[in-house]
């Protein structure tokens, strides 16, 4: 199947249901950890992905196991969509030894290198050069692996974005940049952070590099999936980098604790009409892909999963203090 055909194909029912499930799992995870954070069970910072589920889900559904991704401070959605286990994720958020990073990373640094997940990142745009390197490595090792970097609209103002895409374009690397335009960088709207020339289409930031550019609805998981699929196939086949802007909205505060003083009245409600977890289940039910009852079952299963994940996290031990001094360097190795 050619990439174009692949992208246009009817998405099989089981895959659609799978995407719905992934989105629902992200939503559930985020909602529950939001509560646990409010209860002071979870330490540190928490940046929720609620509202943006379709992006991580659609993109990651287009990836294969061998591929790589880098994420941001708002990374739980990418982790779940990538297939990380919610129990070890929750444990990491709780700072427990059973977490993905044994409690060393927390929400802003969850990683599972085994799964090609090269880490959330607390530095805006910090992951883009790393993904560029994974794409370079994929190419040098003569594989058809691709690397996806997720980042926010705000990251487009950092030099790291530009240096990376410039280099990726010169070297024709299999790199896909996914701009999650959620309308804000922290508490400041797009129009204060980007010139007017960019506001209609943030992918214009990639224009100099001659990369493929797509601007799509980030609340439509199937559109995201199809677009990502095209980009992935192109990258696998040596067609070089793509930059995709997914237009969406963040339903919660920038981080938990944010008063959200900056939202114009009604804006949130308007966007919530397009909540993928409202529209997509409805659509699948309407189209007879899933029954309401099945969806309720699915939801219940997910609630149980996340409840158990939280239990797992709660019951896991905190790391032994001495572990603070481990893991910085590789053990042994020649000349180590």
Partner 1 sequence: MSTATSGTEEMAVRDVINQALGEEMERDERVYIQGIDVNGRGGTSNILKGLDERFGDERVRNTPISEVSIVGSALGAAATGMRPVVEIMYCGFLGVAGDQLLNQVAKMRYMFGGKLDLPLTIRTKNVMGANAAAQHSQALHHWLAAIPGLKVVCTSTPADTKGLLKAAVRSNDPVMVFEHGGVYNRKGEVPTEDYVYEIGEAAVERPGEDVTVVATQNQLWNAFEAADRVDDVSVEVVSPRTISPLDTETIAESARKTGRCVVVDDTPLSYGTQSQFATTIYENAFFDLDFPVQRIGVNDVPTPFSPSLEDEVIPDTDDIADAIRKLA
Ligand X SMILES: Cc1ncc(C[n+]2csc(CCOP(=O)(O)OP(=O)(O)O)c2C)c(N)n1
Q: Report the interface residues with a second copy, using CB under 8 A.
A: 156-163, 166-167, 169-170, 192-198, 204-205, 207-210
By CB under 8 A, tell whether 167 contacts partner 1: yes
Count of residues that interact with partner 1, criterion CB under 8 A: 80
What DSSP character marks residue 93?
H
3-state DSSP call for residue 111?
coil
Task: Report yes or no: 117 and 63 within 8 Å, Cβ to Cβ.
Answer: no
Write down the least CB distance from residue 41 to partner 1, Å.
12
Q: What is the rounded distance in angstroms from the CA atom of residue 275 to the CA atom of residue 268?
A: 10
When the beta carbons of 94 and 249 are compared against ligand X, the nearer one is 249
Q: Is 234 left (phi over 0), alpha (psi -120 to 50) or beta?
A: alpha
Q: What is the rounded distance in angstroms from the CA atom of residue 284 to the CA atom of residue 272?
A: 18
Burial of 193 (0-12, 13-18, 19+ CB in 10 A): middle
Write down the least CB distance from residue 199 to a second copy, Å.
10
Task: Report yes or no: 68 and 79 within 8 Å, Cβ to Cβ.
Answer: no
- The dihedrals phi and psi of 174, each to the nearest 5 degrees, come to -80, 70
By CB under 8 A, tell whether 131 contacts partner 1: yes
Count of residues that interact with ligand X, criterion CB under 6 A: 16
By CB under 6 A, tell whether 155 contacts ligand X: yes
Q: Which of residues 69-108 bind ligand X (CB under 6 A)?
A: 73-74
Burial of 11 (0-12, 13-18, 19+ CB in 10 A): middle
Q: Which of residues 201-260 bind partner 1 (CB under 8 A)?
A: none
- Which tokens belong to 159? 């030099």
Binds partner 1 (CB under 8 A): choice among 3, 17, 32, 129: 129
By CB under 5 A, tell whether 245 contacts Mg ion: no
157 binds, among ligand X, a second copy, Mg ion, none (CB under 5 to 8 A by kind): a second copy
Burial of 1 (0-12, 13-18, 19+ CB in 10 A): exposed
Write down the least CB distance from residue 318 to Mg ion, Å.
33
Task: Report yes or no: 80 and 29 within 8 Å, Cβ to Cβ.
Answer: yes
End-to-end CA gap in the chain: 48
182 binds, among a second copy, Mg ion, partner 1, none (CB under 5 to 8 A by kind): Mg ion
The CB-nearest residue to ligand X is 152
By CB under 5 A, tell whether 182 contacts Mg ion: yes
When the beta carbons of 195 and 333 are compared against a second copy, the nearer one is 195
By CB under 8 A, tell whether 38 contacts partner 1: no
Query: What are the helix (H) ranges across 159-291?
Result: 159-170, 190-193, 196-199, 221-236, 267-272, 276-286
Binds ligand X (CB under 6 A): choice among 185, 253, 276, 319: 185
Task: Report yes or no: 108 and 71 within 8 Å, Cβ to Cβ.
Answer: no
By CB under 8 A, tell whether 138 contacts partner 1: yes
Write down the least CB distance from residue 82 to a second copy, Å.
28
When the beta carbons of 73 and 215 are compared against ligand X, the nearer one is 73
155 binds, among ligand X, a second copy, Mg ion, none (CB under 5 to 8 A by kind): ligand X
Site residues for ligand X per CB under 6 A? 73-74, 122-124, 151-155, 180, 182, 184-186, 254
């Amino acid at each position: 199947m050619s990439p174009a055909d692949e992208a246009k194909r009817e998405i099989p029912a089981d895959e659609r249901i799978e995407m719905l499930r992934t989105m629902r799992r992200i939503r559930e995870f985020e909602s529950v950890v939001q509560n646990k954070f409010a209860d002071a069970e979870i330490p540190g910072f928490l940046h929720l992905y609620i509202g943006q589920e379709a992006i991580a889900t659609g993109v990651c559904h287009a990836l294969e196991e061998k591929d790589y991704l880098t994420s941001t401070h708002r990374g739980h959605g990418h982790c779940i969509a990538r297939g990380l286990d919610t129990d070890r994720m929750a444990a990491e958020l709780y700072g427990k030894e059973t977490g993905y990073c044994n409690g060393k990373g927390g929400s802003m640094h969850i990683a599972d290198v085994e799964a090609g997940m090269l880490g959330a990142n607390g530095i805006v745009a910090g992951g883009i050069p790393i993904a560029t390197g994974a794409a370079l490595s994929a190419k040098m090792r003569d594989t058809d692996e691709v690397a996806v970097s997720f980042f926010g609209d705000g990251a487009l103002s950092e030099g790291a974005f530009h240096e990376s895409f410039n280099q990726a374009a010169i070297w024709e690397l299999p790199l896909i940049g996914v701009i999650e335009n959620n309308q804000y960088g922290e508490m400041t709207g797009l129009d204060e952070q980007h010139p007017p020339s960019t506001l209609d289409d943030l992918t214009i930031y990639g224009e100099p590099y001659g990369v493929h550019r797509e601007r799509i609805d980030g609340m439509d998981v199937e559109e995201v999936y199809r677009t990502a699929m095209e980009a992935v196939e192109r990258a696998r086949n040596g067609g070089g980098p793509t930059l995709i802007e997914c237009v969406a909205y963040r339903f919660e505060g920038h981080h938990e604790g944010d008063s959200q003083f900056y939202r114009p009245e009604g804006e949130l409600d308007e966007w919530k009409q397009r909540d993928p977890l409202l529209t997509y289940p409805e659509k699948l039910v309407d189209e007879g892909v899933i029954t309401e009852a099945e969806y309720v079952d699915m939801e219940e299963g997910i609630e149980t999963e996340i409840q158990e994940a939280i239990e797992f996290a709660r019951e896991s031990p905190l790391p032994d203090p001495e572990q603070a001094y481990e893991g910085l360097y590789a053990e042994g190795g020649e000349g180590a």
